[in-house]
Amino acid sequence: MSIQTFSDVLRRAIADFETHGFDSEERLARWQRELMGAAEGHTAITADNLKRTLTSIYTAQVTKGGLLRAHNIPAWKFNQIAPKLQRELQRRIMAAAQLIKLNREEMIARTMRRFSGWATSIPIGGSEAVDRKEENASIKKALKSLPYDERRVMIDQAGKFKASLSNITATETGAIAAVWRSHFRAAGYNARPDHAERDGKIFVIRDNWAMQNGLMKLDGHQYTDDIEMPAEFVYCQCRYKYLYNLRDLPDEMLTDKGRASIKRG
């Protein structure tokens, strides 16, 4: 069903309450049923297009080697972790479908509550004073934003999936640190101030091989697991640029042993 259908049902419901008022539970229940029916067809994102979106990211990042190039790691290492990345795809498809479903139910419930609140406030016999237009608009607004919200959730889920593929790749193939990247300069992007602040800062991957071998040190930096992941918070579009080599680190993060190891090449 289309949004027009929901609007039509809503218009009829409002007109009916204006005429009769809240004279019976039955009247309210009947309109609630009709509105629910119209609202349920009111979807922007289906499980199918969710799956398609996440799968296309997987294809670009894994099958076509996007991650391989971005991380600059040997192909054999990348192939080894392919099953893990594949599992992540399945996990994300399930989680995202669940999230969108919960989101919908919540939005519909909120709209129905608002409608019921309004309807039960109309005295028996109806009311001349009902501002039909305003009431109609405010109830409709909540439901109209539903497809938009679903699209936002989908974009957010796509970002989270990309970040997590990158994270799996990095931690499984020997990254030692990561540089936080924020889009805080991008027009229209509402960056979290602390994320903008992190832009360009290095975070160390705990227990990485270079730390274990005494080649590098924290030097006042934090571990990646001390803070949230990029794209973990809702609508966050930050990302990590992962570092794999000692020579990618600033000198003060190296130990003497580390410096010697770089010199040896």
Name the one range near Zn ion by CB under 5 A: 7-15, 114-122, 193-201, 214-222.
193-201
Segment near Zn ion (CB under 5 A); pick from 28-36, 109-117, 171-179, 189-197 = 189-197
Give 211 or 231: the residue with its C-beta nearer to Zn ion.
Answer: 231
Closer of 209 and 233 to Zn ion (Cβ): 233
Structure tokens at 187: 């027009």
Token pair 């609508």 is found at: 235
Q: At what angle do helices 3-20 and 25-40 cross, to 10 degrees?
A: 170
Residue 61 near residue 158, CB atoms below 8 Å = no
Tell me, residue by residue from 198 to 237, as one string, x for binding to Zn ion by CB under 5 A and - for no binding.
Answer: --------------------------------------x-
Distance of alpha carbon 91 from alpha carbon 12, whole angstroms? 43
89 binds Zn ion (CB under 5 A): no
Of the candidates 160, 171, 204, 203, the one whose C-alpha atom is nearest the C-alpha of residue 84 is 171
Question: Which one-letter DSSP state was computed for residue 251?
Answer: G
Q: Return the H-helix or E-strand segment holding 239.
A: strand 239-243
Is residue 195 near Zn ion by the rule CB under 5 A?
Answer: yes
In terms of CB distance, is 159 or 258 closer to Zn ion? 159
Q: Which is nearer to Zn ion, 129 or 234 (CB)?
A: 234
176 binds Zn ion (CB under 5 A): no
Among candidate residues 249, 258, 253, the one with its CA nearest the CA of residue 215: 258
- What is the smallest separation between the CB atom of 125 and Zn ion, expressed in angstroms? 55
Q: Is 238 in the site for Zn ion (CB under 5 A)?
A: yes
Using CB under 5 A, list all residues that contact Zn ion: 195, 236, 238
